[in-house]
């Protein structure tokens, strides 16, 4: 799609980001010591810390990724919401209070509290870096996605802007300003999502197409399948109805299920859709949109150059209800439960993609409408990534269980979330702030289903990018709301990214340089080193954010959870609940969990297809999500190695 810059959105956005930066500089004057830089002197009030948890946790993945996935495939995206929230139960009931008691600055502190071993610091420090960098990728991708429609910049410019602003925030003031940015963003995100959901319910459903031009994509037929041959007797009638001459299908187009017609300069593409289950040889023609990427890199939209002038074309925003219960055209405002029960009885036009690679090197992505009953939109298993639960293969089901396990275990293993326990004064504050966090995060996740389904039926969706759904939904309501939502989404990225960079800087300064390499540093030098590492990690994040453009950010975050849960959770939980843990056991568990989950992800079929662009995946792993194998593996490694090294551990740890 072509995005036009809207002044009101830009003004709101600039004010917002300016205010955030100003606040950050102002707060930054106070934080000079490393205690202040990393842990805000442990002086953050518990309520503020709780909302900051929401600000830290509700990342681009939640806001853009989950809403986008729900908008494209329905209920499946909500499975992430459920899993992300469930993880907080582990954080509250198992990890929160001991975490506050055992550590001071970093997650490694807590693991190492009993042993004081540089080896543990090294392993946990590296794992913190790996998880944080993995988590940074989707945030940066989300940033690029946001800036594109808002300011009209290219994706990479967006990534660069976020990267720079975040580095400024982190370098100026560390944890104090990061906390307040997260508090601000957490409150605004929840409040504005509630407003947007309320507006969706007020607007209700309508069968009118969205967008300024209110274009309806045509459906013609039914015709006999055999009519689509140059010699068929009925072809002239079809051509008259379509308004163009059939392009004789050649190469990849032959038997692809799609046909094209031309009239003068204009071409149209149609999907041959089975008309009726009982008659396999009759088809309906459904009008499509398509994007061709030529071998030389130029892009054509619907066969024409991209643009709004004569002889140019842009993709039309899509997504609407095609049929409401009892033949209504508009429902008017709906109640919270009525929203779902109405959708359950309706029919929705979803859009799917089919790619054709031609011998000439041209690649064509065809986007075609798929009429789907509301009851299927509201059930799990429609998204290709979750379709395994409806299949017969046990691996498809294990893949799903594996992801849900990683989400459950991942939250309490994320270093940037765990360090927030050091910013409050005691264990009771740690507990209370977690409860506040659960309340605000849970409320937001309930809203994601309304936001996602609202976007699905808003007529404002971009067929090429699921991540844009929530901001585009806001734009379909009002430009000001669009500006506000985009600005909030942008600070969403800022808040989470600054937390991640701070966690990484802490790992480099305390765990690696100070504890492992034994650098003697004054407090001031520590802060300076932390700031330098923030700049480096920020730079890496910018590069990765540009490389990974186009992947659903929710999906990417799922990976970070898998690695975090496999590497960190076994050690953390066992230290709390088993007296037989040894230093070597902890180190082995962290390393084995990290390497196995990371390795699994890098060779999994999903990665091969989505990241490396391979048409034939390697097929090394039986399913794509590692958690169900690598999390137990971490526990087993810890127990086995601890058993083998019991007895020697105490003496060595004293000497090490």
Partner 1 sequence: MNSSNARLGVRLFFVYLLLYGGFVLINAFAPSQMEATPIAGLNLAILYGFGLIIGALVLSLVYGALCSNEDATDDSSSSTGADA
What does the binding site for partner 1 look like in residue numbers (CB under 8 A)? 75, 78-79, 81-82, 85-86, 88-90, 92-94, 97-98, 101, 114, 337, 340-341, 344-345, 375, 378-381, 389-390, 397, 400-401, 404-405, 408, 426-428, 431-432, 434-435, 438-439, 442, 445-446, 449, 575-577, 579
Contact 151, 159 (CB under 8 A): no
Q: In terms of CB distance, is 420 or 526 closer to partner 1?
A: 420
- What does the DSSP 8-state code read for residue 94? I
Q: In terms of CB distance, is 243 or 332 closer to partner 1?
A: 332
Contact 51, 435 (CB under 8 A): no
Residue 225: C-alpha distances to residues 232, 238, 261, 274 (Å): 10, 12, 16, 9
Q: Are strands 304-305 and 320-323 parallel, antiparallel or unpaired?
A: unpaired
Q: In terms of CB distance, is 371 or 389 closer to partner 1?
A: 389
Q: Are strands 279-287 and 219-224 parallel, antiparallel or unpaired?
A: antiparallel
For 597, how many CA atoms within 13 A lie in the half-sphere containing its CB? 35
What is the Cα–Cα distance from 405 to 382, expressed in whole angstroms? 20
Q: In terms of CB distance, is 429 or 534 closer to partner 1?
A: 429
Q: In terms of CB distance, is 329 or 426 closer to partner 1?
A: 426
Q: In terms of CB distance, is 156 or 340 closer to partner 1?
A: 340
What is the Cα–Cα distance from 468 to 149, expressed in whole angstroms? 9
What is the Cα–Cα distance from 261 to 244, expressed in whole angstroms? 5
**Minimum CB distance to partner 1, residue 90 (Å):** 7
CA 534 to chain centre: 23
Backbone angles phi, psi at 474, to 5 degrees: -60, -40
Q: In terms of CB distance, is 329 or 345 closer to partner 1?
A: 345
Q: In terms of CB distance, is 55 or 381 closer to partner 1?
A: 381
Q: In terms of CB distance, is 303 or 396 closer to partner 1?
A: 396
**Minimum CB distance to partner 1, residue 606 (Å):** 18
Kindly write down the DSSP assignment for every residue of 135-162, as one continuous string.
Answer: HHHHHHHHHHHHHHHHH---HHHHHHHH
Q: In terms of CB distance, is 98 or 163 closer to partner 1?
A: 98
**Minimum CB distance to partner 1, residue 381 (Å):** 5
**Minimum CB distance to partner 1, residue 64 (Å):** 20
Kindly write down the DSSP assignment for every residue of 256-288, as one continuous string.
Answer: SSEEEEEETTEEEEEEEEEEETTEEEEEEEEE-
Q: In terms of CB distance, is 409 or 513 closer to partner 1?
A: 409
**Minimum CB distance to partner 1, residue 566 (Å):** 18
Q: In terms of CB distance, is 533 or 653 closer to partner 1?
A: 653
What is the Cα–Cα distance from 460 to 466, expressed in whole angstroms? 11
What is the Cα–Cα distance from 389 to 393, expressed in whole angstroms? 8
What are the helix (H) ranges across 510-648?
523-547, 553-577, 583-603, 605-610, 627-645
**Minimum CB distance to partner 1, residue 422 (Å):** 15
Tokens representing residue 512 in the block: 């690696």
- What does the DSSP 8-state code read for residue 432? H
CA 560 to chain centre: 11
Q: In terms of CB distance, is 228 or 400 closer to partner 1?
A: 400
**Minimum CB distance to partner 1, residue 199 (Å):** 20
Q: In terms of CB distance, is 204 or 209 closer to partner 1?
A: 204
How large is the greatest C-alpha to C-alpha distance in the chain, in angstroms? 92
What is the Cα–Cα distance from 130 to 596, expressed in whole angstroms? 13
**Minimum CB distance to partner 1, residue 638 (Å):** 14
Burial annotation 444-469 (CB, 10 A radius, 16+ → b, else e): bbebbbbbbbbbbbbbbbbbebbbbb
Integer Rg of the chain from CA:
26
Residue 481: C-alpha distances to residues 78, 273, 429, 473, 521 (Å): 24, 38, 35, 10, 49
**Minimum CB distance to partner 1, residue 85 (Å):** 5
What is the Cα–Cα distance from 627 to 633, expressed in whole angstroms? 9
SS3 label, residue 173: helix
**Minimum CB distance to partner 1, residue 173 (Å):** 28
Contact 319, 210 (CB under 8 A): yes
Contact 630, 408 (CB under 8 A): no
Torsion of CA 292, 486, 211, 301, to 10 degrees: -10
């Amino acid at each position: 799609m072509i995005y036009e810059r809207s002044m009101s959105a830009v003004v709101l956005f600039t004010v917002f980001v300016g205010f955030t930066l100003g606040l950050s500089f102002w707060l930054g004057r106070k934080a000079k010591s490393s205690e202040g830089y990393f842990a805000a002197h442990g002086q953050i009030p518990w309520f503020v810390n709780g909302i900051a948890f929401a600000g830290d946790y509700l990342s681009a993945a939640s806001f853009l990724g989950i809403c986008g996935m729900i908008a494209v495939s329905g209920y499946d995206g909500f499975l992430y919401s459920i899993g992300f929230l469930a993880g907080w139960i582990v954080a509250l009931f198992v990890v929160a209070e001991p975490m506050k008691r055992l550590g001071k600055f970093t997650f490694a502190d807590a693991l190492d509290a009993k042993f004081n071993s540089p080896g543990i610091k090294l392993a946990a420090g590296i794992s913190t870096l790996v998880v944080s960098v993995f988590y940074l990728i989707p945030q940066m991708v989300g940033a690029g996605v946001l800036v594109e429609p808002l300011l009209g910049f290219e994706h990479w410019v967006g990534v660069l802007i976020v990267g720079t602003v975040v580095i400024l925030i982190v370098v100026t003031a560390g944890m104090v300003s990061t906390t307040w940015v997260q508090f601000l963003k957490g409150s605004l995100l929840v409040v504005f999502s509630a407003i947007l959901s309320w507006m969706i319910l007020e607007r209700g459903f309508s069968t009118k197409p969205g967008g300024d031009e209110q274009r309806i994509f045509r459906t013609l037929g039914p015709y006999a399948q055999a009519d689509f041959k140059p010699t068929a007797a009925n072809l002239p009638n079809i051509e008259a109805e379509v308004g163009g001459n059939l392009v004789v299908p050649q190469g990849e187009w032959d038997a692809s299920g799609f046909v094209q017609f031309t009239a003068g300069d204009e071409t149209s593409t149609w999907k041959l859709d089975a008309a009726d289950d009982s008659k396999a040889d009759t088809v309906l023609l459904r009008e499509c949109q398509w994007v061709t990427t030529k071998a030389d890199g130029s892009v054509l939209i619907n066969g024409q150059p991209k643009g709004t002038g004569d002889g140019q074309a842009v993709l039309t925003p899509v997504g609407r209800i095609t049929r409401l219960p009892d033949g209504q055209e508009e429902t008017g405002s709906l109640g919270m439960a009525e929203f779902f029960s109405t959708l359950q009885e309706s029919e929705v036009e979803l859009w799917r993609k089919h790619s054709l690679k031609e011998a000439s090197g041209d690649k064509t992505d065809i986007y075609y409408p798929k009429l789907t009953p509301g009851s299927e939109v509201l059930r799990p298993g429609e998204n290709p990534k979750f379709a395994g639960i409806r299949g017969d293969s046990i691996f498809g089901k294990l893949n799903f269980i594996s992801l849900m396990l990683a989400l459950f275990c991942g939250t309490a293993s994320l270093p940037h979330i765990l360090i927030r326990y050091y910013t409050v004064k005691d264990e009771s504050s740690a507990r209370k702030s977690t409860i506040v966090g659960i309340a605000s995060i849970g409320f937001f996740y309930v809203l994601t289903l309304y936001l996602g389904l609202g976007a699905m039926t808003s007529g404002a969706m971009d067929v090429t990018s699921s991540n844009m759904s929530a901001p585009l939904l806001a734009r379909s309501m009002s430009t000001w709301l669009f500006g506000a939502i985009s600005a909030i989404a942008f600070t969403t990225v800022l808040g989470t990214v600054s937390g991640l960079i701070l966690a990484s800087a802490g790992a480099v300064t305390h765990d690696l340089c100070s504890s492992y390499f034994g650098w003697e540093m004054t407090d001031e030098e520590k802060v300076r080193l932390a700031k330098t590492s923030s700049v480096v990690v920020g730079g890496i994040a910018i590069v990765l954010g540009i490389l990974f453009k186009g992947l659903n950010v929710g999906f990417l975050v799922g990976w970070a959870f898998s690695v975090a849960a496999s590497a960190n959770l076994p050690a953390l939980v066992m230290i709390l609940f088993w007296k037989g843990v040894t230093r070597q056991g902890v180190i082995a568990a962290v390393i084995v969990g990290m390497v196995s989950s990371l390795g699994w992800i890098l060779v999994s079929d999903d990665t091969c297809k989505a990241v490396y662009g391979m048409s034939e995946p390697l097929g090394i792993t039986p399913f794509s999500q590692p958690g169900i194998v690598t999390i137990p593996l971490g526990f087993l490694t810890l127990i086995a190695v601890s058993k083998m090294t019991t007895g020697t551990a105490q003496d060595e740890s004293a000497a090490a």
